[in-house]
Amino acid sequence: MWFKFSRIILRNRLLILILLGLVTAFMGYRVQFVSMSYQLAQMLPKSDSTYIEYQNFKSTFGKDGSIVVVGINNDKLFELENFNAWYDLTHNIKNIKVDFVINGKDTVVNSVTEALSVANSYTLIKNKAEKRFDFEQIVKQKPTTQNEVDSLKEVLYNLPFYEGYLYTDSTATTLIAITLDTNVLDSKYRNELFEKIDSEVLAFHEKTGIKVHKSGLPYIRANSTTKVKDEILIFLILSILITSLILYLFFRSFKATMYSMLVVTVGVVWSVGIQSLFGYKITILTGLIPPLIIVIGIPNCIFLLNKYHSEYKNHGNQIKALSRVIQKIGNAIFLTNTTTALGFATFIFTKSEVLIEFGILAAIDIFLVFVLSILIIPIIFSL
């Protein structure tokens, strides 16, 4: 079988290269549609009792992880200048807009649903005519005198509902509760949103000298996903550089190194393109697949090139050497790559969505890197 396979490869070299080039171009085109997952990875299966309780909690109390808090601990907040700066900060954050894409069209959206602080809090007013309570804003406009600020403070501190939520009188602590648009929060435009919030907070600090603290699950998620994205890129670059160096030291040949890296580069493009075709987003697990392809693809190339050099040295017949490479080493790396792919495919039988995606992509990509190795290396060296 492998003898016939070697004849097919070596007799149809140009056709195979053209097909590989077309598929690689298509996969490269699909790469642009792969997006980063900005949700924390859900490792628990959907049938797990804890996961079910979590979903019930969200259905009752709303989505989690959409609130950011900006807080200060300073007893000079209710001085006229500082209070007006806090008023401006609250309203500026509430009016933050970011670029967004809706139905493929670029637009600008309000990224903050609400920003609530002592500078725009509400009180309840009886509506006797309608027999109901209406909301009325306590601070209707920026105060112009210190007496107005003192009056507003007295009214606010007589509303015990906000004690422990928007302010704590005993520690002179207060905060702004910022509710973010979940559509923006779950997209790549979240970075622009947090940059604008940070810019407004910095402007308040520079104006008043009051230290501001920021917290909230969205900040944690944004930082973690940004770090994952950066580390995936670093890991990919380091794996390419280290394997290239090892290859060069092993073969002492720039051509052998270059063509081996060509194989794994095409494999990486294919892996990301396939991920796009499946509609999977890049997670902390699927982001490891490109470096995995490099680590697995390089040994394939080493085995093929080492056998080729050995065979060619023995009899000096290039085509015969390449044919034996495909027959002997092709069978060996087919078995090793197949068993590795099947090992990763076992994740498909778990009940975790993240692990299933990783298992499917890893199994397919590992087998494809074998196909690329057995096609590209013999064809290139035959030319």
pLDDT bucket at 85, cuts 50 / 70 / 90: very high
Q: How many residues does the chain have?
A: 383
CATH 1.20.1640.10 for the 2-47+228-382 domain, yes or no: yes
What are the strands, taking DSSP E only, across the chain?
A: 67-73, 97-102, 105-110, 112-116, 122-127, 132-137, 167-168, 173-180, 213-215
Name residue, tokens 């007799």. Answer: 11
What are the strands, taking DSSP E only, across 44-120?
A: 67-73, 97-102, 105-110, 112-116
pLDDT tens sequence across 238-264: 888 888 888 788 777 787 788 888 888
pLDDT tens sequence across 273-302: 998 888 888 887 888 888 888 888 888 888
pLDDT tens sequence across 201-232: 999 999 988 999 988 888 777 777 777 777 88
- Look at residue 39 in the predicted model and tell me its pLDDT: 65
The tokens describing 164, both together, are 């422990």
What average pLDDT does the segment 64-75 reach?
82
pLDDT tens sequence across 146-181: 888 888 888 888 887 888 788 887 678 889 888 888
Q: How far is CA 225 from CA 220, 271, 359, in A?
A: 9, 21, 21
DSSP characters over 221-266: HHHHHHHHHHHHHHHHHHHHHHHHHHHHHHH--HHHHHHHHHHHHH
CA distance 337 to 346: 15
Enter the pTM of the model: 0.70
Domain with CATH 1.20.1640.10 in the chain: 2-47+228-382
pLDDT bucket at 25, cuts 50 / 70 / 90: very high
Between 128 and 86, residue with greater pLDDT: 86
